[in-house]
Amino acid sequence: MKKEDFNIFFKEFPLEEPVKNAVLTVFMAGENTGSSGFHHFHPKPRWGIVFNGRASDRVVSSAIETGLAVEYRQHRNSPPDEWFTDITLPGVAESEPDKAKEVFDRFAEIYVKQTSVD
């Protein structure tokens, strides 16, 4: 998503609080975020952030350091060269938004620290 589309997109699709800080942090740093929040498309539904394409090394290493799962996939209706990266939180239910927020806020902190080191 381009920064100029930011206000329009987030007005139409408000961010769920547990992932809000993390999505805004990586988005403002130029990462290509897609959907976020509690996703039901996993075999076991999870809190997560989907990135369009392969997420940057900073996103992946921050996620791993935080304990988030990183998965690459193609959508069943997308062209063969179109990938998505799912950064998800296993084991935290939809009914535990405070726990999810704590983890995704930590992910954002680690991401910012890695960005400032580079």
Q: Which domains does the chain have, with CATH numbers?
A: 19-117 (3.90.1150)
Rounded to whole angstroms, how far apart are CA atoms 80 and 84? 11
Indicate whether this model's pTM tops 0.85: no
The secondary structure element, H or E, covering residue 33 is strand 33-39
pLDDT of 7: 53
Long-range pairs of 62-66 with CB within 8 A, sequence gap ≥ 24: 62/107, 62/110, 62/111, 62/114, 63/87, 63/107, 65/110, 66/103, 66/106, 66/107, 66/110
pLDDT of 57: 95
The number of beta carbons lying within 10 Å of the beta carbon of residue 82 is 11
pLDDT of 34: 83
pLDDT of 92: 94
Per-residue pLDDT 10s for the chain (118 aa) are 555 555 555 555 567 788 888 988 998 888 988 888 898 876 778 999 999 899 999 999 999 999 999 999 887 777 777 889 999 999 999 999 999 999 999 999 999 998 776 6
